[in-house]
């Protein structure tokens, strides 16, 4: 991690203010001569400037205060142009607000600073990327080898150096792994309570996503809104019997040249919360008032086609229908995929115009 102090030390420059904040990370280095560059910054940047427009004590103080309020990492002030030294008013304000400032001599070009900083930042990002790729490959291998949730959780815990817990909607632990130090019972109980609270909140009327005012329309492709009779009881019986997984359903596609990437096994326990949520959907459909594009495949072997008809008849917003005559359940990879894509794009353009 590149810090303000690191950059100043590597350049052989002395910090004139903000010693306590000099360990702040530098996200990027930006050169600006604007009296207020903050509208074009997002925080964490190091600003390099010669202060060409900082011609009065008020402007200098305002400049330091603005940068601090916008959470910039620090200021490198180039002298020998508009100022022979860092202005006293700017330094006084920087010291008051804790903004790191160092003076850049005339002989040191800004490009030398940006090259040094960018080199460090790029190398750090490359290391993060390489580590991320390695972790991804490790997790991918565990999934392919069907090593189970415990192995996955253990790998994530080791990768982040922390505690990992996977809870169901009821706050019950599905898998957990500690790293060096356990979470306190108080912390675990707080997490469980929060999970249960969120699980209950999703059932409240105000938490129904399709009612969000920013949603312009919905595209529903072979969607399920009504569970088959007896399905929940069957899944509950499997859970009670200790069954963890069953053979996955994948590649319900008519086109023999297409294959859906699907897990070979489907976990049983999470299906209970899915079915609980799904049981509430039929009664909520009438609250959907935005435009809907309903796509269904008459030859769907996963979701009964009657679900699409139920959606079309129940929602209160305008409905457009598209029938994927030649496709099975995974219609977006099947024979009708191009037509579905075109219909979806045209629908999106209409509802967002």
Q: Mean pLDDT over residues 231-248, rounded?
A: 87
The pLDDT, as a whole number, for residue 319 is 96
d(CA 282, CA 315): 10
Q: State the average pLDDT for the chain.
A: 89
Point out the least confidently predicted range of 28-32, 158-162, 222-226: 158-162
Percent of the chain with pLDDT over 70: 97
Task: Kindly list the distances between the CA atom of residue 179 and the CA atoms of 147, 171, 188, in Å, as whole numbers in the listed order.
Answer: 20, 21, 15
Q: Mean pLDDT over residues 70-81, rounded?
A: 95
In this predicted structure, the answer to whether residue 228 has a pLDDT above a threshold of 80 is no
Does 4-116 carry CATH code 3.40.50.970?
A: no
The pLDDT, as a whole number, for residue 207 is 58
Architecture in CATH for domain 208-352: 3-Layer(aba) Sandwich (3.40)
Residue 72, number of CB atoms within 10 A of its CB: 26
d(CA 199, CA 196): 5
The pLDDT, as a whole number, for residue 208 is 67
What pLDDT, in 10s, does the model give residues 259-318?
887 778 888 888 887 887 777 788 889 999 999 999 999 999 888 889 999 999 999 999
Q: Mean pLDDT over residues 152-174, rounded?
A: 86
The pLDDT, as a whole number, for residue 223 is 92
Nearest to 22 by CA among 80, 92, 79, 76: 76
Same CATH topology for 4-116 and 208-352: the answer is no
Q: Which range among 18-27, 69-78, 229-238 has the greatest average pLDDT?
A: 69-78
d(CA 276, CA 271): 8
Beta bridge partners of residue 23, listed in sequence order = none
Phi, psi of 182 (to 5 degrees): -75, 155
User: Is 111 exposed, middle or buried, given 0-12, 13-18 or 19+ CB atoms closer than 10 A?
Assistant: exposed
Domain map (residue ranges) of the chain: 4-116, 146-201, 208-352
Q: At a CB cut-off of 8 Å and minimum separation 6, what does 301 contact? A: 252, 328, 329
The pLDDT, as a whole number, for residue 83 is 96
What pLDDT, in 10s, does the model give residues 96-147?
999 999 999 999 999 999 999 998 888 888 888 888 888 888 888 888 787 8
Residue 133 tokens read as 């790729």
Percent of the chain with pLDDT over 90: 53
Of 124 and 85, more confident = 85
Nearest to 64 by CA among 27, 23, 35, 44: 35
pLDDT band at 205 (very low <50, low <70, confident <90, very high): very low
The pLDDT, as a whole number, for residue 136 is 86
Whether residue 262 contacts residue 251, with contact meaning beta carbons closer than 8 Å, is answered with: yes
The pLDDT, as a whole number, for residue 1 is 82
Query: What SS3 state is found at 45?
Result: strand
Chain centroid, CA 208 distance in Å: 21
Task: Kindly list the distances between the CA atom of residue 328 and the CA atoms of 30, 64, 217, 265, 346, in Å, as whole numbers in the listed order.
Answer: 53, 63, 24, 21, 23
């Amino acid at each position: 991690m590149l810090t303000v102090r690191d950059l100043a030390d590597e350049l052989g420059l002395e910090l004139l203010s903000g010693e306590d904040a000099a360990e702040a990370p530098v996200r990027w280095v930006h050169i600006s001569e604007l009296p207020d560059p903050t509208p074009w910054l997002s925080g964490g940047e190091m600003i390099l400037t010669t202060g060409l427009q900082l011609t009065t004590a008020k402007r200098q103080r305002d400049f330091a205060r603005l940068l601090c309020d916008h959470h910039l990492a620090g200021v490198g002030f180039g002298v020998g142009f508009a100022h022979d030294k860092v202005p006293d008013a700017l330094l006084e304000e920087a010291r008051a607000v804790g903004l790191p400032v160092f003076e850049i001599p005339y002989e040191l070009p800004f490009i030398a600073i940006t090259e040094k900083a960018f080199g460090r930042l790029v190398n750090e990002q490359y290391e993060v990327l390489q580590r991320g790729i390695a972790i991804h490959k490790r997790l991918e291998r565990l999934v392919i080898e069907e090593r189970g949730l415990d192995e996955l959780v253990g790998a994530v815990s080791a990768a982040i150096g922390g505690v990992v817990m996977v809870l169901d909607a009821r706050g019950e632990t599905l898998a957990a792994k500690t790293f060096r130090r356990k979470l306190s019972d108080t912390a675990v109980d707080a997490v469980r309570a929060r999970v249960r609270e969120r699980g209950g909140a999703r059932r409240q009327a105000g938490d129904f996503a399709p009612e969000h005012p920013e949603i312009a329309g919905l595209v529903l492709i072979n969607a399920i809104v009504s569970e088959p009779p007896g399905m929940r009881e069957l899944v509950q019986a499997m859970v009670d019997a200790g069954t963890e997984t069953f053979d996955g359903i994948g590649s319900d596609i008519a086109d023999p040249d297409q294959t859906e990437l699907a897990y070979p096994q489907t976990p049983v326990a999470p299906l209970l919360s899915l079915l609980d949520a799904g049981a509430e959907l039929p009664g909520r459909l009438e609250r959907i008032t935005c435009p809907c594009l309903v796509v269904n495949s008459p030859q769907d072997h996963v979701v009964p086609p009657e679900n699409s008809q139920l959606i079309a008849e129940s929602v209160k917003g305008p409905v457009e229908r598209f029938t994927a005559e030649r496709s099975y359940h995974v219609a977006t990879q099947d024979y009708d995929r191009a037509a579905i894509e075109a219909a979806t794009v045209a629908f999106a353009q209409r509802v967002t115009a």
